[in-house]
């Protein structure tokens, strides 16, 4: 829950952050207990087993966060071309510097993630992890694990490019049109006019793409499920 995409906001009450994982642990306890062969002996063995399980949970949450952040990356790519990157602000919920469209698309992504039952996919992946990776059986020094994370990041970057590509293409055409305009009509201050034109064209193009994000999120949820299982398979 700490490394997942939903509990990263500061506005969530601390009591909920404590009670929800506790309730989830109670619900998943029978599944975890059914796959437990024997507890590690000694304090050091038990402590290492706890650290191992914490690492497995963090890896699962980080994988989901990387995939959802592909929408934020798409927004940042659009912001750079549209000119909103100059108006970057400090995000009060995450405590980091973020751009306008990136924050808007990420919040929209979280809403669609909940509407399309993506949180159920995350909980089911957590429950399935006790079947694929039994307690105290994870192998964190596996050389295949970094490859899976790199593949996940490359897939997220590809989705970010695919989402932002239509807007970037339209903005490129507008840049070319403004360049021709500056050559044919030097009296027009293209530098100042270009800001308004690119913002209007970029937002108009993005408004046509918003209804299509549902299809993108179906593929994102499938990607989350696939990458979670791929990660769990290399941890044993």
- Report pLDDT for 96: 59
Share of the chain above pLDDT 70, in %: 88
3-state helix, strand, coil in the chain (%, to 5): 80, 0, 20
pLDDT band at 97 (very low <50, low <70, confident <90, very high): low
Is the CB of residue 100 less than 8 Å from the CB of residue 203? no
Query: For all residues of the chain together, what is the average pLDDT?
Result: 80
Out of 56-70, 77-91, 172-186, 206-220, pick the least confident.
77-91
Q: Which pTM was predicted? A: 0.79
- Report pLDDT for 146: 81
- Report pLDDT for 92: 56
- Among 222, 230, 2, 3, smallest CA distance to 121 is for 222
Longest alpha-carbon distance in the chain: 82
- Dihedral sign (CA 63, 66, 71, 74): negative
Residue 139 pLDDT greater than 80, yes or no: no
């Amino acid at each position: 829950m700490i490394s997942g995409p939903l509990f990263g906001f500061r506005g969530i009450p601390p009591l909920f952050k404590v009670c929800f994982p506790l309730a989830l642990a109670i619900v998943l306890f029978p599944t975890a207990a059914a796959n437990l062969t024997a507890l590690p002996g000694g304090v050091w063995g038990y402590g290492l087993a706890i650290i191992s399980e914490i690492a497995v949970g963090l890896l699962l949450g980080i994988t989901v966060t990387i995939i959802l952040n592909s929408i934020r990356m798409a927004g940042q790519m659009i912001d750079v071309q549209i000119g909103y990157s100059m108006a970057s602000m400090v995000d009060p919920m995450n405590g980091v510097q973020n751009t306008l469209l990136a924050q808007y698309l990420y919040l929209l992504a979280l809403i669609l993630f909940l509407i399309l039952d993506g949180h159920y996919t995350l909980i089911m992946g957590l429950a399935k992890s006790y079947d694929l990776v039994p307690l105290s059986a994870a192998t964190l020094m596996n050389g295949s694990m970094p490859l899976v994370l790199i593949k996940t990041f490359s897939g997220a970057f590809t989705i970010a490019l695919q989402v932002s590509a239509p807007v970037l293409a339209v903005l490129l055409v507008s840049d070319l049109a403004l360049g021709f305009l500056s050559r044919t009509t030097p009296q027009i201050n293209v530098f100042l006019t270009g800001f308004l034109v690119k913002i209007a064209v970029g937002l108009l193009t993005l408004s046509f793409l918003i209804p299509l994000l549902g299809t993108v999120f179906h593929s994102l949820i499938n990607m989350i499920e696939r990458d979670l299982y791929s990660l769990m398979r290399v941890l044993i």
